[in-house]
Amino acid sequence: MSSADHFDCWRTVVEHVEFYDPRDSVTIYERKLPHWSQAGTLCFITFRTFDSLPVSVIKRFHADRRNWLRLHGVNPDAQDCKERLAQLDKRLREEFWRTFSERWNLELDACQGECHLRRPEFSKIVADSLHHFENDRYLLTDYVVMPNHVHLLAAFPTDEAMLLQCESWKHFTATQINRLLGRKGRFWQQDGFDHLVRSLEEFEYYRGYILNNPSRAGLQTTDYRHYSAQ
Cα separation, 177 vs 171, in Å, equals: 10
- Give the model confidence (pLDDT) of 169-198 as tens digits: 999 999 999 999 999 999 998 866 777 787
CA torsion angle 202 134 218 105 (round to 10): 50
Q: Which has the closest alpha carbon to 177: 116, 93, 115?
A: 116
Question: Is 70 exceeded by the pLDDT of residue 4?
Answer: no
pTM given for the model: 0.74
The Cα 137–Cα 134 span in angstroms is 6
Residue-range domains of the chain with CATH = 3-52+115-228 (3.30.70.1290), 53-112 (no CATH)
Total residues belonging to the chain: 230
Q: Which of 218, 222, 52 is nearest to 121 (CA)?
A: 222
Long-range contacts of 92-97 (CB under 8 A, 24+ apart): 96/68
- Which tens digit of pLDDT belongs to each residue from 21-54? 444 444 433 344 334 445 567 888 999 999 998 8
